[in-house]
Every structure is written in structure tokens, then in C-alpha cells.
Amino acid sequence: MDMNNIASGLNTVWVLLASALVFFMEAGFAMLEAGFVRAKNSLNIIMKVFIDCCTGLLGYFLIGFGIMYGLSKFGVFGTTGFLLQDSMKNLPLLAQFGLPVEVYWMFQAAFAVAVATIVSGAVAERMKFLPYMVFSFLATAVIYPVAGHMVWNPDGLFAKMGMLDFAGSAAVHSVGGWAALAAVLVLGSRTGKYKKDGSANVMPGHSMPLAALGAFILWFGWFGFNPGSALNGLDGSIAHIVVTTNLAAAAGGLLSALFTHKRYGKVDPSMTLNGALAGLVSITAGCAYVNTISAIIIGAIAGVLVVFGVEFMDKIRADDPVGAIAVHGVCGSFGTIAVGLFASVGTAKGLFFGGGFKLLGVQLLGLLVVSAWAFLSTFGIFKLLKAVVGIKVTVDDELEGLDMSEHGMRSYAQSAIDDSLILEEMETGSDFGGSVTANMKLKTEDAH
């Protein structure tokens, strides 16, 4: 076996491993969002994340990958490669690293699913499940692929201009974040979220430990998200990418903790978790292009920005139960711009390192266009769904909880079992609950 085959095999394994890490981030999203919502809606949000995987993988396979990486039309969308039927010869990176098209599809499909899942958290606790499935499919089949085409396709509009978005602060996170804002504005807020004077009522999530677990999983998954985007397991730069990613996350979490302590008098756990995620989101564009000190600065700024972002969304009555718009939209945008300021590794230089305004201008233009695309396309889809099938559950269903109204069961089974009902069934002699009833009877006898 020659060295080229060995390198190709190692790169293939590396990208497959990175794909698995990125896909495992869905578990992180599920746990984070479930913890941030009330118990009566936790199963529903997990189902939304799970269905993203189902609709997203199929949508990206059928349509999305071709739009994103097919032969370019106007630098905006592709016209070949649907159902992975074409060779995708316009992807020189695959030939350079000896990667099969299927491997690259899997990596990018995991990114596509993440875009839809960003929106799931923002619309939590009041959106109907079936219309959400429609949006999830369209987000992965059309919305993300068009943005990704412009940024990452070699013939894409902004790729040809020199835009730098290594792993997707713009193409993934800004797209998902601003799509989430559009969805929330059309959908409306949760019942009782805002008072008549415009101030917000606090609706705390039911499990911060669960949310923390989700944040840890997402942080872990980012070691596939960013270094995996190098597509080369033999490239020494992946070590640098891991370090900048980690440092930005740490700085984001620390600054959110310190800032909320100063602002609120106590360290806010949810803001601290989101602060670390904000650092991760903000460094995603520049992880390969900035030095370690710049990574810390970028993450620290994002850790403060996310707090202001969450507060601002409440001021404009954009009800986002998990802070997705602030984390992904605000901090993804900042991270994209930060490349134009802090880039110092490689040939492209940012404004602060003698590169002038050229790169910064390209970053701003690309960010503006893909964000506007995500916002307007999502706004239109949600308006259409609202008019045709309706997108918001009834007030009664919302108060009961979407776990029951949309799925007919609860996350925590004990909450659906009334012990007094079991005892009543025991007294009437009916066989309710099988061994559960027998155990209850034994415990009752023991008590006497």
C-alpha cells in the first residue's frame, strides 16, 4: 500500500470520526433544550431534535447536498449532485485529501441537522410538531445549503471573494440564529411570558443539571465540528484549532459567570452555560485563522454579548426559551466579523494585524447576505405554514404541556401516575398496573 492510500484512509477515518462527534451534538442540543424548558414540554423538545435528524438527513441527501456543492449557478446554488448521483468533481478538497464523497456528505449532513436544531429551541413550548417537521426538512434541504453554497462551494459568491468561515460561524450558526428570530417573530410568545408593561416573566427550565449535561456534550462535539473541518487528519493545524476552540469556550463561560455576578448579584447558571457555547460559536469561523490570545479575546467578548443578546430579545418580545438567537445569531455574527479583525494565522490578515479593511468588508458582506437569506426565507416559510395549517398550539394545549397534547405521554412517567388512582383500583379488585399494583399492596400491608 502506497503512502497516498494510507493518507486517504487516515483522512477518511478522521472525517468519519468528526462526523460522529458533530452528529452526537444533537444529543447535547436535546439535553440542553430539555433542561431549559418546563418539564411538561421536555419530551416534545427532545422529539423536535430527534426529528431534525430524520428529516434533516433525508432532506440533505435528496436535495441539500446538490444545492450546496453541485456545479454553481450564479454563485448561489448548485444544480448537480442530488441524491449523491454525480462525482462532484468541483470539490478539489476531496481529491486533495482522498476523501470519498459519501464521507464528506455525512460530515456536512450533520452540520445541516444542527442548523434546524438551533431553531427548535427558540420555538420551544408552543409550536405544533407537524409544521415544525416541514420547516426542518426545508431548512436542511434549501435554507442551509444555499447559504453554505455561497460561503463554502469553491465557486460560491463569497468563497470567490475570499470570505473566511472555517467551520461555520456564518454558514451554520448565523443562519440558524437569524432563522430562529424569524420563526419566533411569526410564531409569537408563550402564554404568560410577557406582562402588559412589556416586562418578561421568568419561566425557568425544569432541570439545570440536564442543561449542563447538554452543554458539556456540545463542547465535546465541537472537537469534531471545528478540527474536523480541516478534512485532514495529518494536518498539524488541527492541534491549533482544538486549542483555540477550547480557549474561546473557557473564556466565554468565565466572562458570562463574572458578568452575570456583576450585573445580577449572582452567577447565572444558564447564562454561564450559554456563555461557553457563545465562545464556541464565535470562534468557529476563525479557529484556524486566529492566534490563541485572539481566541481568548473573541470568546470573552462573546460571553458578554450573549447576556446582552438574551436581554435584548426579551425587550423586543422575541420569546426564546433557550437563548438560541443570542448564542447562535448574535455570537455567530460577531465571530464572523472577528475574523476580519483578528486573523493572523495564514496568508489572510485581519484589520488588527495589518490586513486593512478588505477582509473585514468581505466578512461583513457575506454575513449580511446569508443572514438576510436565512431570516427572510424562514419568515416566508413560517408565514405560509401559519396561513395554511397553523403553527401554534392552542392555549389549552400549551398550558397542559406539549408532551401530552402533541405526543400523549409525559417525560417523567411518575408525573402521569396518580397513586390514589392505583389504590382505588386495588380496592375495587381490578388488575391495574400488574406488578406495580402488587408492590403497592405489599407496601400498604407493611405500613399497617
Each residue's pLDDT tens digit, 218-253: 999 999 999 999 999 988 899 999 999 999 999 999
For residue 438, the model assigns a pLDDT of 45
Residue 148 has pLDDT above 50, yes or no: yes
**Comparison of pLDDT for 344 and 446, the residue scoring more:** 344
Residue 445 has pLDDT above 80, yes or no: no
Instruction: Share the mean pLDDT of the chain.
Output: 92
Distance CA 106, CA 98 (A): 15
Mean pLDDT for the stretch of residues 8-24: 96
In this prediction, residue 96 has a pLDDT band, given cuts at 50, 70 and 90, of: confident
Q: Provide the residue ranges of all domains of the chain, joining segments of one domain with +.
A: 3-399, 417-448
Residue 19 has pLDDT above 80, yes or no: yes
Q: Are 287 and 295 in contact (CB under 8 A)?
A: yes
For residue 444, the model assigns a pLDDT of 44
For residue 86, the model assigns a pLDDT of 73
Q: Compute the chain's Rg from CA coordinates.
A: 23
Distance CA 212, CA 146 (A): 33
Number of Cβ within a 10 Å radius of residue 390: 12
Distance CA 157, CA 2 (A): 38
Residue 261 has pLDDT above 70, yes or no: yes
For residue 447, the model assigns a pLDDT of 45
**Helix/strand/coil percent split, the chain, to 5:** 70, 0, 25
Digit-coded pLDDT (tens) for 361-372: 999 999 999 999
Distance CA 28, CA 385 (A): 28
In this prediction, residue 414 has a pLDDT band, given cuts at 50, 70 and 90, of: low
Mean pLDDT for the stretch of residues 422-439: 54
Contact residues for 312 (Cβ-Cβ < 8 A; gap 6+): 326
The three cell numbers locating residue 301: 467578548
For residue 286, the model assigns a pLDDT of 98
Q: What type of residue sits at position 194? A: Y
Residue 424 has pLDDT above 70, yes or no: no
The DSSP 8-state label assigned to residue 199 in this structure reads P
Residue 46 has pLDDT above 50, yes or no: yes
Q: 88-97, 277-286, 333-342 — which is least confidently predicted? A: 88-97
Reported pTM? 0.91
Q: Are 344 and 128 in contact (CB under 8 A)?
A: no
For residue 35, the model assigns a pLDDT of 98
- Architecture per CATH, 3-399: Orthogonal Bundle (1.10)
For residue 87, the model assigns a pLDDT of 61
Burial 165-181 (b: 16+ CB within 10 A, else e): bbbbbbbbbbbbbbbbb
Digit-coded pLDDT (tens) for 109-130: 999 999 999 999 999 999 999 9
Q: 35-39, 92-96, 285-289, 339-343 — which is least confidently predicted? A: 92-96
Distance CA 382, CA 187 (A): 8
For residue 442, the model assigns a pLDDT of 42
Half-sphere exposure of residue 409, counting CA atoms within 13 Å on the CB side?
Answer: 7
Digit-coded pLDDT (tens) for 50-69: 999 999 999 999 999 999 99
For residue 421, the model assigns a pLDDT of 58
Distance CA 221, CA 238 (A): 15
In this prediction, residue 85 has a pLDDT band, given cuts at 50, 70 and 90, of: confident
